[in-house]
């Protein structure tokens, strides 16, 4: 299979993953809202497990992860992971379809900006990124970065011990952070499993121990990512969670791919600057999209508030007819 064909297949799987993720995020958010409203004195998690739409969203979330991991078998981490930004774009049209309310021009402009950034990024990254075996030193670098993330999460938890919860946006940040490590470590395990099928037997040497440490890291990062993302939905608007995670996850993944895994080794400075510029354009598009969605909802709220104010100002002693 040619280099270009592998990249195209990897990108296609990443696009399918983004579509599945948009369904998963939408249904999980609705399921959590339903469970929160109906849990009463019971545990929220037990109520969520009994909520069909939340279970459906979780299944699609799992499908999105499988598709994303599969895409990493054919293309570099820094190339396919940022394609997940399209999940927010899919979510806009999916939400519009379900609500019957067409997106505004501001939303269309934001989507166009986001697409321009993502397409430009993919075109440039496809030219400079390389799919290669991950060395022990690079894997150690990823594990050290994961440990740094765990220390930050532990520090945030210790700081918040005097309060009931962390700041809502912190859950979004950590959800995206640990999701990126799931992808990075998953790629490592995937490539090493491919090595086993290629005739390289597993041995309990330094390389084997690092692979097992990688599997353990995937378990820890997956659990924390699920916890932080699900908790983020309980204290943030769903569009903030989706926008935040779809920006943080790719940003961390690109950093890992370029700095730790050296997937862009040999790329010119101008290429890296172009990649950064395209990423910034896509990120601006994501935040403008989230802002445009809020502005779309604002008129309804303003009308409601105006009506409430008019009712409050209305005279109570009206003459009888």
- CA distance to 65, 171, 274, per residue, from 117 (Å): 23, 26, 10
Poorest-pLDDT segment among 111-115, 204-208, 274-278: 204-208
Taking each helix axis from N to C end, the angle separating 3-38 and 86-99, rounded to the nearest 10 degrees, works out to 50
- pLDDT tens figures, 40-60: 666 777 888 888 888 898 899
Question: Within a domain: residue 15?
Answer: no
Instruction: Give the model's pLDDT for residue 286.
Output: 81
Residue 5, domain member (yes or no): no
* Residue 8 domain flag: no
Mean pLDDT of 233-239: 75
Q: Which of residues 118 and 25 earns the better pLDDT score?
A: 118
Quickly state the pLDDT bin for 298 (edges 50, 70, 90): low
Which residues have a Cβ under 8 Å from the Cβ of 319 and sit 6 or more positions away?
none
Domain span including residue 243:
80-298
Q: For residue 16, what pLDDT is reported? A: 94
Does residue 35 fall inside a structural domain? no
Q: In residues, how long is the chain?
A: 321
pLDDT digits (tens, 9 = 90+) for 105-115: 888 888 888 88
Q: What percentage of the chain exceeds 90 in pLDDT?
A: 14
Q: Could you report the per-residue pLDDT of 89-102, keeping only the tens digit for each?
A: 888 888 788 777 88
Number of structural domains the chain divides into: 1
Biggest alpha carbon distance in the chain?
94
Mean pLDDT of 194-211: 72
pLDDT at 306 over 50: no
The pLDDT of residue 127 is: 87
């Amino acid at each position: 299979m040619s280099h270009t064909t592998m990249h195209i297949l990897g990108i296609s799987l990443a696009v399918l993953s983004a579509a599945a993720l948009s369904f998963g995020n939408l249904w999980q958010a609705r399921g959590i809202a339903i469970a929160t409203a109906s849990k009463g004195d019971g545990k929220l998690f037990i109520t969520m497990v009994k909520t069909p739409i939340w279970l459906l969203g979780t299944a699609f979330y799992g499908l999105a992860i499988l598709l994303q991991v599969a895409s990493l078998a054919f293309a570099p981490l820094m190339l396919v992971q940022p394609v997940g930004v399209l999940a927010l774009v899919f979510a806009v049209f999916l939400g519009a379809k379900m609500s019957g309310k067409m997106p505004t021009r501001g939303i269309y402009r934001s989507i166009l900006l986001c697409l321009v950034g993502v397409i430009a990024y993919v075109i440039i990254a496809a030219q400079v990124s390389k799919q290669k075996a991950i060395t022990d030193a690079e894997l150690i670098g990823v594990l050290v970065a994961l440990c740094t993330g765990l220390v930050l999460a532990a520090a945030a938890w210790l700081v918040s011990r005097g309060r009931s919860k962390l700041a809502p946006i912190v859950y979004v940040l950590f959800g995206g952070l640990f999701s990126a490590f799931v992808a990075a470590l998953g790629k490592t395990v995937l490539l090493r499993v491919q090595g086993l099928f290629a005739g390289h037997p597993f041995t309990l040497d330094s390389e084997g121990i690092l692979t097992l440490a990688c599997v353990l890291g995937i378990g820890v990062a997956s659990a924390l990512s699920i916890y932080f993302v699900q908790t983020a939905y309980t204290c943030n608007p769903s569009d903030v969670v989706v926008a935040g995670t779809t920006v943080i996850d790719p940003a961390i993944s690109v950093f890992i791919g370029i700095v730790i895994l050296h997937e862009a080794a040999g790329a010119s400075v101008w290429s890296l600057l172009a990649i950064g510029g395209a990423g910034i354009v896509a990120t601006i598009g994501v935040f403008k999209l989230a802002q445009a969605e809020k502005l779309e909802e604002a008129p309804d709220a303003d009308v409601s508030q105006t009506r409430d104010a008019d009712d409050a100002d209305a005279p109570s002693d009206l003459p009888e007819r």
